[in-house]
Chain A
Amino acid sequence: MSTNVTPRSRLRERLMVVLTACVALAAAGAARAGDAVDFRRDVFPILSNNCFTCHGPDAKARKAKLRLDLKSGALRTDDPIISAGKRSESTLFERITSHDPDDQMPPPKSGKSLTQAQIETLGRWIDQGAVWKGHWAFEPVIEPRVPAPKRAGWARNPIDAFVLARLESLGLEPAAPAADPVLARRLALDLTGLPLAVEDAQAFAADLRPDKYDRLVDRLLASPHHGERMAMDWLDDARYADTNGYQNDFARTMWPWRDWVIRAYNANTPFDLFLTEQLAGDLLPNPTLEQRIATGFNRNNRTVTEAGSLDEEWRVENAVDRIETTATVFLGLTMGCARCHDHKYDPITQTDFYQFMGFFYSLNEQGVYTEQRGNVPPLVSLPTEADRKHLAELDKAVEAARARKAPKNELDKLTKERDEFKASIPSVMIMEDAPKPRPTYVLKRGQYDQPDRSRALEPDAPEALSRLARGVPRNRLGLSKWLLARDNPLTARVAVNRIWQMHFGVGLVKTQENFGVQGEPPSHPELLDWLAAEFVRMGWDQKALHRLIVTSAVYRQASRVEPSLLARDPENRLLGRGPRFRLPAELVRDNALFAAGLLTQRVGGPSIKPYQPAGLWEELAGGAGEAPYVQDHGPGLYRRSLYIYRKRTVPHPALATFDAPSREICQVRRARTNTPLQALGLLNDVTYVEAARRLAEQVLKDGGTSDRARLETLFRRALGRAPHPQELAVLERGLERRLAVYKADQDAAAKLINQGESPRVPGLDPARLAAFTATASVVLNLDETITVE
């Protein structure tokens, strides 16, 4: 494929077809009677779900030499099965409507069958000319024309034009803009993961400048907490953890790589460089230390140390993890499916898989470092200036002792001291290839010990997505270039969809992990392509993309929803209202700590161990001494949650309960559940009980001169807005009741306010503090508190 982003004027015709098809109603699935059938939305999914198993890309499983995943198969002219315009003359239609079990397609014994609606859709598609389109995500990005919606003045940028045009075509209207306090909180949580301080929120509301919103956007993007917010999500993609993940689950040190990610985001590293440095920083000319650290991305995979494990087996598994992660994160493809056979749905052959593996198979790394703890080679040591100096002194002392032939025990002591200090200097695992590349072979059924040695393979990209260009090195650097090539249809789309998903809770493509044939097509295909093209045109500038999205009118809508619109569009795929979704796990805790004034805002550094119920590690640990959970104290206890120590075999329950993944494998999209365990956690976890107490202390100290004023302050600190009169009434009633309870039971009051390690503010009446603590706990448990809306 060599087409670049094509000038708009040449595509009007194609665009009209696409837009016409999009005028059809929003919901995926079979089109309604009388509508134009959209091949991609209506027909292709039927074929892929029901036919590709036997008539798809998998050559071995293919029956009757028929491929229905390609135009050249479905619309073949030699022994045609489809007669365009005439379903009654099409063998395909005959077979899907046959009742003879020998002729019927899909065959009854396959377990698949078409519904009447699906059969009708296929029939109508044939009648309407059997127009074939390649899978949308494999076609190059062609920048679409920005539509002109009917309603003037609403759209602030092209994002809005696409969304509004679609809403209008369905007879719908966008929502009103969100109120200032709501919008400011949404923006702050999205861009930094922290709400605005009360004063800042109030200043924003009082600001009368017309560009106050843009200023706020700029300020938030410039905050070092922005890098933390972005890193938080990226760590899921990169499967970052602080332990190895198998059996004894030894600890490892990868936080310096996490720090690199935060720095990279704060420096607004363009995405193309961000990708290249992580995949191939070590292969760049004269790589800097930073660029080598970046390659830790692909050393985050789980590793095995269990005695008895086979080195070669795990060299393969490590490589497979890197393939799957790289393909999922940057291409949105489920390449792992092609490990044991040709992909059943996407045009990825098993040979493609093992050629792709060639990029990751030459690492200068053992498959198993048996029972070895900590970081293993290849790695790089990261001494500070002071470390370097000290190490030099210790080295000198050892040399001097040797030179003057000091007694053995003295030499041993100095050597030990030097070695121990050296071991204490943090290191990080990085990528480094062995001097000679290792060839790969197709592994029969994916088994490490079944290589097909008749064919040594060269590293390359899948054939259907075009191979590496000539002259491009056949290594990870070449892979990076291929990913970023102009004609790669996936990388930019996947990248912009990730950012979109972050802001709206769901991507334009819902299945961020699968842009292949079995994934979901985009809700707004032109918008996606426009964003992808724009992103590249902006030089892959990530902050600019954020700015474009959050300054749009679409983003700034209120999230309130009427029942009728809710019934029609429960997931807000039409974007006719603002986003509203529960905060990710890390931000649930960050938000509470911030509101309570407990959050330690230091950026970067080693992982921390916050409060955790006793004995969790001990319960599951073996005898290898990985058991005791040594909780942090002091400021470390209250650092942001992205720094929480991630032990793969015993995920922290506070995070796991709110759907944070275990980080065993790469995950590019989180679930968002709503469970009683979350309720229990938010009510009873000492983290939140302490936060409630601290919040209560703050408002008692300087939240106002009346209890009503104090309650208002409490509300503002947690939610960024003042309570409505009715809300205030509930809070006041509750406070009154609890004051009575705790005045009568000083013992209970003393217990409640004694939770958590942070020191107590002196001079506060315990009963009043307890009553306010309980009220603060209520406020911290509000749905609105843990939701971005």
Chain B
Amino acid sequence: MDELRFAQTWNRRLFLRRSGFSLGSLALGSLLGRDGFAAGGAKGTRDATEFGGLAGLPHHAPKAKRVIYLFQSGAPSQLDLFDPKPAITSRRGIELPDSVRMGQRLTTMTSGQKSFPVAPSIFSFQKHGNSGTELSELISHTGGIADDICLIRSMRTEAINHDPAITFVQTGSQIAGRPSMGAWVAYGLGSENQDLPAFVVLLSRGRTDQPLYDRLWGSGFLPTRYQGVKLRGGKSPVLYLDNPPGCSYATRRQMLDDLAALDDLHYRESGDPEILTRVAQYELGYRMQSSVPELTDLSQEPQSILDLYGPDVRKPGSYAANCLLARRLAERGVRFIQLYHMGWDQHGDLPAQIRMQCRDTDQASAALVKDLKQRGLLDDTLIIWGGEFGRTIYSQGKLTADNYGRDHHPRCYSLWLAGGGVKPGVSLGQTDDFSYNIVKDPVDVHDLNATIMYLLGVDHTRLTYRFQGRDFRLTDVHGKLVPQIMA
């Protein structure tokens, strides 16, 4: 971005912030309070640098000021990554005992199978770090940050199919229509940066084709300004951000000035304050035309950092590139950053596919944690890595010495957290020898969500929204904090 434009935009920013707006008698701050990204200022309870959110929040001092949720869509196999089961390595091919399955419903993808042969992972597990956390050979980079992460092996969910399960993780209900976690957080806590959305979403594709849907980062019945804004790889990271060809920034600026003048004239006729709000939105859009390219411009990143994330970091739209963007978003005060990496749904051909998934994600996930840590940002950034359910110990389809598939498994799955108030270098929970049932310290999705909220300084029972005559919340009527994972 050229010097002059940079200076102009910064000067304008400062001018607007200091002097209020030139139109009418309403200050810009209160205009943004109506309906911009930075909505409804909360006064007195928080930093003056923060915008929007509700009065009275945070409820208590937060450990985390922002969240980076690395959502692994399709359900990564816990058996091949996080949950070693040496006791069954020698029992390949035995029938899954009824005493273990205990009538668990199966999806119709495997319920028709005549047998359910146990398929131990062909990957080896090693202990890592001082904590001695056992992780598979496929995620050795994650092994390198073992002492920074808190691994939960006892996550559990109710849903067995992708759509309801991902919806459940994101919104607290299997039935779509409720606000996503990011929307709740944007609504409750607002943003630290008035020039970027409070809730940003980054997508990357994996090796198998699994769909996702806009409503996963939607605002449900919350006002739509809290929905996640997708930041896309490539030229126009925010939709419609760029001026059309032939319209320079100078011309755009002139046009906005004319627009403001005309709207102001009309405001004097009409008296409707929405007109002034609209003018403010144009100014904010204009500022985003600078703030977003600045965000995605990697030219100042040192090679050492790029190397940390791995070679894919230069490919816009890749998981590694998104992880680096996540760090940059965190630095710029974006409140809720959510990555979705697709392709973990290994029903068949698991060993080959999961290797590729890990190659695409392991290094960058660990790099993100290290990068934040060395910048002193890990302490107040909460990172979550996980999917929507686990996978079955029994093989879906033919089991051979070196190949197997796994079907969906809701009764247990693994997930790790790092940063923002999480106890590092520990693991919580235990599953049985078949990674089928939880035997110790189960954590429901609602419990995880309640805890995430808590670390952000929010009492999940008190962040509610009146809709259809009822006070809804992310955790519905559930959710218990998980103190064992909190530092």
Interface residues of A (CB under 8 A from B): 48, 111, 246-249, 304, 306-310, 317, 334, 336-337, 344-345, 370, 513-514, 516-519, 559-563, 566, 580, 582, 613, 615, 619-624, 626, 648-651, 653, 656, 659, 662, 664-665, 671, 673-681, 683-686, 689, 724, 726-727, 730-731, 733-734, 737-738, 741, 747-755, 770, 774-775, 777-778, 781-784, 787, 789
* Residue of B with least CB distance to A659: B224
Query: Do A560 and B262 have beta carbons less than 8 Å apart?
Result: no
Task: Report Cα–Cα, A345/B281, bound state, in Å.
Answer: 39
Within the complex, what minimum Cβ distance (angstroms) separates A607 from chain B?
18
Task: Report Cα–Cα, A724/B264, bound state, in Å.
Answer: 13
B162 neighbours in A (Cβ, 8 Å): 247, 306
Taking residues whose C-beta sits less than 8 angstroms from the other chain, chain B's interface range is 35 or more
Query: Do A676 and B282 have beta carbons less than 8 Å apart?
Result: yes
B482 CB-CB contact with A under 8 Å: no
Q: Tell me which of B206-214, B387-395, B398-406 binds A.
A: B206-214
Query: Do B246 and A770 have beta carbons less than 8 Å apart?
Result: yes
Q: A621-B211, A684-B241 are in contact. Are A613 and B236 (CB under 8 A)?
A: yes
Task: Report Cα–Cα, A634/B391, bound state, in Å.
Answer: 49
Query: Do A662 and B218 have beta carbons less than 8 Å apart?
Result: yes
Residue in contact with B271 in the complex, picked from A48, A516, A561, CB distance below 8 Å: A561
* Residue of A with least CB distance to B212: A620
Within the complex, what minimum Cβ distance (angstroms) separates B226 from chain A?
10
Q: A651-B214, A675-B37 are in contact. Are A730 and B246 (CB under 8 A)?
A: no
Query: Do A673 and B225 have beta carbons less than 8 Å apart?
Result: yes
Residue in contact with B244 in the complex, picked from A656, A684, A741, CB distance below 8 Å: A684
Q: A649-B215, A673-B223, A675-B37 are in contact. Are A680 and B245 (CB under 8 A)?
A: no
A677 neighbours in B (Cβ, 8 Å): 229, 238-240, 285
Residue in contact with B240 in the complex, picked from A656, A684, A741, A753, CB distance below 8 Å: A684
Q: Which 6 residue pairs of A and B lie closest in terms of their CB atoms, listed nearest first? A: A518-B469, A623-B209, A752-B246, A751-B246, A308-B107, A649-B213
B269 neighbours in A (Cβ, 8 Å): 560
B144 CB-CB contact with A under 8 Å: no
Residue in contact with A676 in the complex, picked from B163, B218, B261, B285, CB distance below 8 Å: B285
Residue in contact with A309 in the complex, picked from B161, B210, B238, B259, CB distance below 8 Å: B161
A649 neighbours in B (Cβ, 8 Å): 211-215
* Residue of A with least CB distance to B213: A649
Other than the given A680-B238, A751-B245, 13 more pairs (CB < 8 A) read: A247-B162, A310-B108, A615-B232, A620-B214, A649-B214, A675-B225, A676-B37, A676-B288, A677-B285, A680-B239, A738-B254, A754-B245, A754-B246
Residue in contact with B215 in the complex, picked from A307, A664, A781, A789, CB distance below 8 Å: A664
Task: Report Cα–Cα, A246/B36, bound state, in Å.
Answer: 31
B55 CB-CB contact with A under 8 Å: no
Query: Do B239 and A613 have beta carbons less than 8 Å apart?
Result: yes
Query: Do A562 and B271 have beta carbons less than 8 Å apart?
Result: yes
Task: Report Cα–Cα, A325/B276, bound state, in Å.
Answer: 37
B35 CB-CB contact with A under 8 Å: yes
B95 neighbours in A (Cβ, 8 Å): none
Q: A613-B239, A680-B238 are in contact. Are A582 and B274 (CB under 8 A)?
A: yes
Query: Do B270 and A734 have beta carbons less than 8 Å apart?
Result: no
Within the complex, what minimum Cβ distance (angstroms) separates A185 from chain B?
14
* Residue of B with least CB distance to A674: B35
B window 232-251: CB within 8 A of A:
232, 234, 236, 238-248, 250-251
Q: A247-B211, A518-B468, A676-B285 are in contact. Are A783 and B161 (CB under 8 A)?
A: no
Task: Report Cα–Cα, A662/B176, bound state, in Å.
Answer: 11
B265 CB-CB contact with A under 8 Å: yes
B211 neighbours in A (Cβ, 8 Å): 247-249, 620-622, 624, 626, 649
B375 CB-CB contact with A under 8 Å: no
B109 CB-CB contact with A under 8 Å: yes
B277 CB-CB contact with A under 8 Å: yes
B window 253-273: CB within 8 A of A:
254-255, 258-259, 261-263, 265-266, 269-273
Query: Do A755 and B245 have beta carbons less than 8 Å apart?
Result: yes
* Residue of B with least CB distance to A648: B213
Query: Do B109 and A308 have beta carbons less than 8 Å apart?
Result: yes
A650 neighbours in B (Cβ, 8 Å): 213-214
19 A–B contacts from the bound complex (CB under 8 Å): A249-B213, A580-B272, A615-B234, A623-B208, A624-B211, A649-B213, A662-B218, A665-B176, A673-B223, A674-B278, A675-B281, A677-B240, A679-B285, A680-B239, A680-B288, A752-B245, A754-B245, A755-B244, A782-B262
Within the complex, what minimum Cβ distance (angstroms) separates A714 from chain B?
12
B275 CB-CB contact with A under 8 Å: yes
Fill in one digit per residue for B351-369: 1 if any A CB lies within 8 Å of its CB, else 0. 0000000000000000000
B243 neighbours in A (Cβ, 8 Å): 683-684
B16 neighbours in A (Cβ, 8 Å): none
Fill in one digit per residue for B172-184: 1 if any A CB lies within 8 Å of its CB, else 0. 0001110000000
A684 neighbours in B (Cβ, 8 Å): 240-244
* Residue of A with least CB distance to B166: A247
A741 neighbours in B (Cβ, 8 Å): 248, 250-251
Query: Do A680 and B241 have beta carbons less than 8 Å apart?
Result: yes
A651 neighbours in B (Cβ, 8 Å): 214
Task: Report Cα–Cα, A542/B449, bound state, in Å.
Answer: 48
Query: Do A681 and B232 have beta carbons less than 8 Å apart?
Result: no
Within the complex, what minimum Cβ distance (angstroms) separates B189 from chain A?
19
